[in-house]
Structure 1
Amino acid sequence: MNPTIDETTIATLIKRVEVLEAEAEIRRIQARYMFLCDTPCPEFGVGDDAHRIDLIMDLYTEDAVWEGVGEYYDDQFGRAEGTAELRRHFEGFWGEKQDPALLLNAHYLTSEQIHVVGEEATGQWIHMQPWLFSDGRSLLRSSRLNNAFRKTDGVWKITRTRTENVFIAALPEHFAESHPSASVLMRP
């Protein structure tokens, strides 16, 4: 057996495994981000929104960008760059009491595509999310995501969240017959 062929084969297999591991980690990071953005927050032990925001910020690089793009999201979400602006962006969602209060928001990801090149990657998804408010209003949102990731100190992190509106549809008032006031899924 030729040792050069074996070394080449092993190197090729190692590279393929690294790509598969990167895809799996990126998938987990994106799902965790969405999980932490759900209302009520299903993460056990997250007692307040400041803690939730800290956990979300841990998923991002220091130079990360979060932006809403396209004719609908440009004005609604704008662009936040760097940890200070990202934190302010997330505090706008959870930092103040909203009126009407958001009772439920759940993110469903689909149509995944992840592309890894070395220690950088991009991922595209479509997501759908129902929103239920305390005044009985409900709506359904769908967005396309085009996100970027980078391996930093051996850990994959988000470098860009880019979201573009697909549609927003009003649902009938009191659309959901039941919904939890708090999540107990992750409770030990």
Structure 2
Amino acid sequence: MTEAGDIAALIRRIEILEAEAEIRRVQARYMMLCDTPCPEPGVKDDAERIDRIMELYAEDAVWEGVGEYYDGQFGRAVGHEAIRAHFNRFWGEKSDPALVLNAHYLTSEQIFVNGDEAEGLWIHMQPWLFSDGTGLLRSSRLFNAFRLEDGDWKITRTRTENVFVAPLPSAFASDYPGTSVLLNPSE
């Protein structure tokens, strides 16, 4: 290979690594925005949380739950308006008992970049705790897609399939915050 070819190959490898890193950040930020309490600084309410989530999605994106369990629970939403409505149903209607703790843990990551498009696979675990002390543990597989738009990676597909849902012992978590101040420098 020529020196120019070597340099071009190195540049392409760096571009792929940078794309993977940015996609990783987009996916992790999406998950953090879905956590309860929400650790994103300055999020005043669930409407603002949803606005910030929607900033991560392409206008033509698809959000879908698939498989025998999630298909009926989540269905399929196509485009910003339908995806926003999906999140409004989740956070817009206050549940009884209220959700007081929810955290997403991502693992088994695989990201494949092909030019201005990419796909990523993850497995995630998610403990839930409700105000009445009941709790459950969810796990699902994610098969998501991304596209580079005006220099930013956007989510074009969130596709989630249930691995399992399991009840947790009553009041499994004894100590947890009512709000998150982790990323707030003034706290």
TM-score w.r.t. the length of structure 1 is 0.97
Match of 2:121, as an amino acid? Q
Partner residue in 2 for 1:28: 25
Give 3-state SS (helix, strand or coil) of 1:110's partner: strand
Q: Are residues 1:18 and 2:43 paired?
A: no
Partners of 1:96 and 1:133 in 2: CA distance: 15
Give 3-state SS (helix, strand or coil) of 2:154's partner: strand
Q: Are residues 1:163 and 2:163 paired?
A: no
Partners of 2:170 and 2:13 in 1: CA distance: 50
Percent identity between the two aligned chains: 72
Partner residue in 2 for 1:135: 132
Q: CA deviation at 1:187?
A: 1.4
Q: CA deviation at 1:30?
A: 0.2
Give 3-state SS (helix, strand or coil) of 1:165's partner: strand
Question: After the TM superposition, which segments of 4 or more aligned residues of structure 1 sit over 3 Å from their partners?
Answer: none
Q: How many residues align?
A: 185
Decide which structure has the larger Cα Rg and report it: 1
Partner residue in 2 for 1:49: 46
Q: CA deviation at 1:148?
A: 0.2
Alignment of 1:107-118 (within 5 A): 107-118=104-115
Partner residue in 1 for 2:170: 173
Partners of 1:139 and 1:164 in 2: CA distance: 17
TM-score w.r.t. the length of structure 2 is 0.97
Give 3-state SS (helix, strand or coil) of 1:146's partner: strand
Partners of 1:45 and 1:26 in 2: CA distance: 23
Q: CA deviation at 1:62?
A: 0.1
Q: CA RMSD in A?
A: 0.8
Give 3-state SS (helix, strand or coil) of 2:30's partner: helix
Summarize deviations over 1:83-121 as a string: whole Å, max 9, x none.
000000011111121111000000000000000000000
Partner residue in 2 for 1:104: 101
Partner residue in 1 for 2:83: 86
Partner residue in 2 for 1:144: 141
Identify the match of residue 150 of structure 2 among 150, 153, 164. 153
Partner residue in 2 for 1:65: 62
Partners of 1:61 and 1:133 in 2: CA distance: 32
Give 3-state SS (helix, strand or coil) of 2:2's partner: helix
Match of 2:173, as an amino acid? A
Give 3-state SS (helix, strand or coil) of 1:184's partner: coil
Q: Are residues 1:186 and 2:170 paired?
A: no
Consecutive unaligned residues of structure 2, counting only runs of 5 or more, are: none
Consecutive unaligned residues of structure 1, counting only runs of 5 or more, are: none
Partners of 1:121 and 1:184 in 2: CA distance: 33
Q: CA deviation at 1:138?
A: 0.4
